Homo-oligomer: A and B are copies of this chain.
Amino acid sequence: MATIIDLATKAGVAPITVSRVINNSGYVREDVRKRVQQAIEELDYVPNALARGLRSKRTFTLSLVLTDITNPFFTTMARGVEDAASANGYMLLVCNTDEREDKERMYLRLLLQKRADGILLVPSRKRSGNADLFRNRHTPVVILDRRVEGISADVVRGDSVQGAYQLGVLLAGLGHKRVAMLTGPSGVSSSEDREIGFRKAMKEAGIESTLLVYNGNFVQESGMEMTNKALQASPSPTAIFAANNFIAIGALKALQAKGLRVPEDIAMVAFDDLPESMVTFPFLTVAAQPAYDIGVQGVRLLLERLESEEPTSFREVILPNELIVRKSSGGAVKYQ
């Protein structure tokens, strides 16, 4: 494989001159530039990014560590990250942690080895056991979608408190008095924030005392389990709030299995919309997060930090959700 030394020999110049042509840096006379460019063509030269990165200490690689790219919310976010990275000349390493702190740790270590210029992280836990990895290192980190303690980083996330509050207000306004909330694990900020927002709405409506809260995981099976538990409560709930898309779908399946219709027999609202392209008949009333934009903004903050020399203070960008009212929330409840 040709190197800049081969090019230099061929073009009759010094390697550094070739480097200048390739990087469009410094002064190079036009005819010299031409000669070099011809050599590049003829030798089918491909720069070695490893050597470049080793010397210049920049790899033009960002990395995205998320819980599961299979979740459409994160897929969309990842696409936003990739588009923004690519638009700025960066490539993207992607890692799935499955919400496991040990996998997260393994990946973060590898990323530090690879000298990625920056890391976009959806942390698996609010109290990260991996915060130590970033101490005394200068790889900047942007936290996406969640809050985390102990890591000094910019944050971009949707407003979980606000979204959940809106959904709560909606249900209360429809007259629901016995509501079940199915959420993720405690210790994950998005899970906790959605509980905070929802509780606030319940409290304001004076129905907090009858609120049922179930903690599980952000996966379908957990949604089914929590739904089955909730239905055993007495009196049973007239509405369900699912704290993410997968829990919602699990809940719908569990209800269907029991022959319960939504919204006729029980109302339902949820966090996270499903992409329009994936759903034939949009049905769920949701607080939709701007997933793509979360990704784009995350890259923006990361690159700004990379560009600026002086350490600026950390920023937290909280993007608003969109309340989309569809059929699943139903109309006003009539209690017998």
Interface residues of A (CB under 8 A from B): 1, 44, 46-51, 53-54, 59, 61, 68-70, 72, 75-76, 78-79, 82-83, 86, 91-96, 107, 109-115, 136-137, 219-220, 246, 249, 252-253, 256, 274-281, 283
Contact = CB atoms under 8 A, between A and B. Distances in A.
B82 A48 contact: no
B44 A136 contact: yes
A190 B230 CA distance: 46
Nearest to A138: B1
Q: List the number of copies, as a whole number.
A: 2
B94 A47 contact: no
A33 B222 CA distance: 46
A221 to B, nearest CB: 9
B256 A70 contact: no
A59 B83 CA distance: 24
B91 A277 contact: no
Contact of A75 (B75, B86, B253, B274): B75
19 contacts: A48-B54, A49-B113, A49-B115, A50-B53, A69-B78, A69-B79, A70-B76, A70-B79, A70-B277, A72-B75, A75-B75, A82-B94, A82-B95, A83-B96, A91-B95, A92-B93, A246-B277, A249-B278, A280-B283
Nearest to A275: B70
A50 B115 contact: yes
B280 A249 contact: yes
Contacts of A96: 79, 82-83, 86
B278 A274 contact: yes
Nearest to A114: B49
A48 B115 contact: yes
Contacts of A94: 78, 82, 92-94
B277 A249 contact: yes
B59 A50 contact: yes
A46 B82 contact: no
A87 to B, nearest CB: 11
Contacts of A283: 280
Nearest to A103: B86
A68 B78 CA distance: 11
A137 to B, nearest CB: 7
Nearest to A55: B50
B281 A256 contact: yes
A253 to B, nearest CB: 7
A276 B246 CA distance: 10
A70 B59 contact: no
Contacts of A44: 136
A79 B307 CA distance: 32
Given A79-B70, A82-B95, A112 B277 contact: no
